Structure 1
Amino acid sequence: MSDQPPPNPIAAGTRIGHVHLKVADLDRALGFYCGVLGFQLMQRLGDQAAFISAGGYHHHIGLNTWESKGGHPPPPGTTGLFHTAILYPSRAALADALYRLLQAGIQLDGASDHGVSEALYLHDPDHNGVELYRDRPEAEWPRKPDGTLSMFTHRLDLDDLLRQREG
């Protein structure tokens, strides 16, 4: 693979709009995503699907049981989604997410400072990987002398993060 950009790169404003997750139990998934993380239920289709968002958007996350009702997570060694990354607008908002997880007794799999971002790693009730993170301002991103990114993985100080929580 070349280090050169493709001749016709994708438009810079392109974003990932939403993710759709297969879950075994819709109520259990809503309990986590709405009850713990605080997403808002926008629409529900019985026990088959639900669409949830932050801030009233039509949906950031779709949850469905169409192929997975009562199912089990895929075994290790199979392909699939590694994690869904949920971007928080500020360090204080990420701190609030950490507080919500602690209050709900949800264990983290990890917490990392990547230089460009700070991230919390965990699994939802269906064992889907979840990353909760906030980006640092681009001017603070670590860079090599040639201007390319110099990301790293260091331990994130959770006590310091919690001190940033507003309210």
Structure 2
Amino acid sequence: MAPYSLPAQTRIGHVHLKVADLKRAMAFYCDLLGFELITMYGDQAAFISAGGYHHHIGLNTWYSKDAPPAPVRAAGLFHTAILYPTRRDLAVALQRLLDAGYPLTGASDHGVSEAIYLNDPDQNGVELYWDRPRDEWPLRPDGSIEMYTRPLNLNELLATR
């Protein structure tokens, strides 16, 4: 029997995050990053999205109200990656973070993409990125994708706004 492969159109639909303070998390994801509130589930959960989808991110306090962040050296979510449609959109997001004085944890050029890294208020990792067009992805001699991690020039990125 041949190994099963997911259909090429399969996508990750949403991520659901445990947060300690729902209002604080909503201030980060909605007010700073720009997601829109779609609906609340009482006062314990919020469902937010970009473009009116039912939700890209769920935020809840069901098991985590007022809890400390998860330990860094434990199994769990490394980061949530938010894909921007264009390099300019990523540059606008970066400028918003800089204007708000929000700390970044990194910025990388991965060949196939450019990414900004930060933590949300609950120390969940967040990656904001855009993908280069597929025909610009670096390839190895055998045709496989060559991803790498190099410093991202933030001034060059900001110049695209």
The alignment's TM-score, normalised by the length of structure 2, stands at 0.97
In the alignment, is residue 129 of structure 1 matched against residue 125 of structure 2? Answer: yes
- Structure 1 gaps of 5+ residues are 1-5
Q: Percent identity?
A: 67
| Superposed displacement of residue 59, structure 1 | 0.5
| Superposed displacement of residue 82, structure 1 | 0.2
Which of 77, 82, 95 pairs up with 1:81? 77
- Structure 2 gaps of 5+ residues are none
Q: Which residue of 1 aligns with 2:11?
A: 15
Secondary structure of the 2:40 match is strand
What's the RMSD between the two structures over aligned residues? Answer: 0.9
The superposition leaves residues 6-51 of structure 1 with CA deviations (integer Å, 9 ceiling, x where unpaired) of 7221111110000000000000000000000000000012320000
Secondary structure of the 1:93 match is helix
The alignment's TM-score, normalised by the length of structure 1, stands at 0.93
Q: Which residue of 2 aligns with 1:156?
A: 152
Which of 101, 104, 112 pairs up with 1:105? 101
Q: Which residue of 2 aligns with 1:34?
A: 30
The superposition leaves residues 114-146 of structure 1 with CA deviations (integer Å, 9 ceiling, x where unpaired) of 000000000000000000000001100000111
In the alignment, is residue 91 of structure 1 matched against residue 91 of structure 2? Answer: no
In the alignment, is residue 143 of structure 1 matched against residue 139 of structure 2? Answer: yes
Q: Distance in 2 between matches of 1:32 and 1:88?
A: 17
| Superposed displacement of residue 103, structure 1 | 1.3
In the alignment, is residue 120 of structure 1 matched against residue 116 of structure 2? Answer: yes
Secondary structure of the 1:121 match is strand
- Count, aligned residues: 160
